[in-house]
Amino acid sequence: MTCPHCKGDRQIPALVNRGGSCTWESIVCTTCGGAGEVDDDYPRRSEYARKDRIAHRTSIREMAGRLGVDVVLLSDFESLKLPRGQWDVVQAVIEANKRPGGESATVPA
């Protein structure tokens, strides 16, 4: 599917600091890694994890603490802003930290 951030352009605008002066430049999209596309299940996994967390009345800070990941990383995962390749890491952490009774904040198989 087309990358939700660069819309297939492969680049995104970024404010870059070049030793004291900041300028807007185009950089490689951090979500798709410059591919212009992401895996088809990328948004589905993120949406499911967020809905599951909310359904269990767990704050994003609480869930991040429980999983041992940075709250910004988990937030970026849930909002589809996580750079390509890193969302599998978050998904693996969520899977490894299943709730008591076997419940998990992952996409059902």
Model confidence over 5-36: pLDDT tens digits?
788 999 988 888 888 888 999 998 877 888 89
87 Cβ neighbours under 8 A, 6+ residues apart: 42, 45, 46, 77
Q: Is residue 108 predicted with pLDDT exceeding 60?
A: no
Cα 50 from chain centroid?
11
Domains of the chain with bracketed CATH: 1-38 (no CATH), 42-96 (1.10.260)
**Average pLDDT estimate for 36-42:** 79
Q: For position 53, what pLDDT does the model report?
A: 82
Instruction: Residue 40: count other Cβ atoms within 10 Å of its Cβ.
Output: 8
**Residue of higher predicted confidence among 65 and 43:** 65
Q: How far apart are CA 44 and CA 52, in angstroms?
A: 12
Q: For position 106, what pLDDT does the model report?
A: 43
Tens digits of residue pLDDT in 51-94: 888 888 889 899 888 888 888 888 888 877 776 667 677 777 66
